[in-house]
């Protein structure tokens, strides 16, 4: 948590929000550029996302000013896109790289905690106070031939789903004032059902791109069987996504979210380990959570050449986005990342309390 949150009373001023943003983004950008020996002026595209903090000048301008990026950089600042904005930023960077050849794109994902804590008494808005924590991620993308040998992953697919036309989905994560005019983000009781519906639509588009034909045939046959014969109590076949992916990074939106996705996809507890550990240690870091989870898998030495990683992110609107990455070389677990200092202590047994 940022220092301002520990003050009594907690401060949500713009000054503290700016300080938090600078602390997170300046640190991760400096680390990334030095780690890969990249000069700031070689960056041609800059995309940032922060849902609830949108200052003027923008966050991208803040980064350009701090690090001295070149004057003709293509910069975009995304706001209001929720926890799925990290993969939306990747999607935008991918599209820009298609147009601008021989370029480097820097994607920054974070959420500002300081100005967005809820200080009222509405239960639906208090949940966010317990879930969200400070964090961020910097991702470097390239379409340059000379970078192929040093790249860790190749983006294979990115599928986006938006249910904003449905009122129930649109209002499931909603920022609004309570009866005392105190602003907070409300999480509705319908959230898990909405997320499950969005995921179903998303994997309907993703499935044909990644699943082997045997799994697609089983799914197609179950759909036909149910429609033609209308057999009661006969559920639709759930494809075995472990035949398409070796690793799963499920958005750490909360224990119930991870449980629901595991159940929907018929996954084992170990498939959601990275998500549970990221939630346990870092909390819900919003759009950057799927990157903390990928770092966990890397630090554990589990990601090998040829492995495919499925990142699943959910966000207000309501959105469900999927990104599929293919590992291009064995990832060295000894390379420093967010987990390096105590990866040997994980996984931990998480206590379960009766509700």
Q: Give the DSSP H/E element, type plus range, for residue 183.
A: strand 183-187
Q: Which of 162, 202, 249, 321 is catalytic?
A: 162
| 187 strand-pairing partners | 173
- 99's CB contacts (< 8 A; 6+ apart) are none
Active site annotation includes 157: no
Q: Which of 50, 83, 249, 320 is catalytic?
A: 83
Tokens coding 78: 């995304």
Q: Which of 49, 50, 202, 251 is catalytic?
A: 251
Q: Give the DSSP H/E element, type plus range, for residue 197.
A: helix 191-210
330: DSSP letter: P
Instruction: Measure CA 316 to chain center.
Output: 12
**Please, are residues 304 and 330 in contact by the beta-carbon 8 Å criterion?**
yes
Active site annotation includes 307: no
User: DSSP string of 225-275?
Assistant: HHHHH--TT-PPP---GGGT-SEEEE--S-HHHHHHHHHHHT--GGGGHHH
Long-range contacts of the stretch 31-40 (C-beta < 8 A, 24+): 31/138, 32/106, 32/138, 32/140, 33/67, 36/140, 36/150, 38/104, 38/140, 40/67, 40/68, 40/69, 40/70
Q: Which of 116, 284, 321, 337 is catalytic?
A: 284
Active site annotation includes 295: no
To the nearest 10 degrees (0 to 180), the angle between helices 273-282 and 289-299 is 110
Active site annotation includes 36: no
Active site annotation includes 83: yes
- 15's CB contacts (< 8 A; 6+ apart) are none
First CA to last CA distance, the chain: 26
Residue linked to tokens 């791109």: 209
Sheet bearing 135-142, strands edge to edge: 74-78, 45-49, 104-111, 135-142
Q: Which of 77, 202, 247, 327 is catalytic?
A: 247
* Active site amino acids: 83, 162, 247, 251, 284
């Amino acid at each position: 948590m940022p220092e301002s949150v520990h003050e009594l009373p907690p401060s949500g001023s713009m000054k503290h929000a700016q300080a938090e943003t600078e602390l997170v983004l300046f640190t991760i950008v400096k680390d990334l550029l030095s780690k890969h020996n990249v000069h700031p002026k070689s960056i041609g595209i800059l995309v940032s996302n922060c849902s609830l903090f949108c200052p003027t000048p923008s966050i991208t301008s803040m980064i350009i000013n701090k690090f001295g990026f070149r004057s003709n950089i293509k910069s975009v600042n995304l706001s209001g896109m929720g926890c799925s904005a990290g993969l939306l930023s990747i999607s935008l960077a991918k599209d820009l790289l298609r147009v601008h050849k021989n370029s480097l794109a820097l994607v920054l994902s974070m959420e500002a905690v300081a100005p967005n804590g809820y200080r009222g008494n509405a239960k639906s808005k208090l949940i966010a106070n317990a879930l969200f924590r400070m964090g961020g991620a910097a991702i470097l993308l390239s379409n340059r031939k000379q970078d192929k040998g040093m790249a860790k992953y190749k983006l294979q697919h990115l599928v986006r789903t938006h249910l904003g036309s449905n009122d129930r989905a649109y209002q499931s994560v909603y920022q609004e004032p309570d009866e005392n005019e105190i602003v907070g983000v409300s999480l509705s009781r319908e959230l898990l059902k909405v997320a499950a519906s969005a995921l179903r639509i998303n994997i309907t588009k993703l499935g044909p791109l990644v699943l082997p034909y045997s799994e697609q045939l089983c799914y197609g046959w179950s759909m036909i069987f149910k429609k033609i014969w209308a057999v009661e109590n006969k559920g639709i076949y759930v494809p075995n996504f472990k035949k398409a992916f070796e690793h799963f990074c499920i958005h750490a939106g909360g224990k119930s979210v991870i449980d629901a996705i595991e159940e929907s996809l018929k996954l084992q507890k170990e498939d959601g380990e990275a998500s549970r550990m990221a939630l346990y240690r870092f909390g819900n870091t919003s759009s950057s959570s799927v990157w903390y989870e990928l770092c966990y898998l890397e630090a554990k030495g589990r990601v090998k050449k040829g492995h495919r990683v499925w990142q699943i992110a959910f966000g207000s609107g309501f959105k469900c986005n999927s990104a599929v990455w293919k590992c291009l070389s064995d990832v060295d677990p000894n390379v420093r990342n967010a987990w390096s200092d105590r990866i040997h202590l994980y996984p931990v047994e998480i206590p379960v309390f009766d509700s």
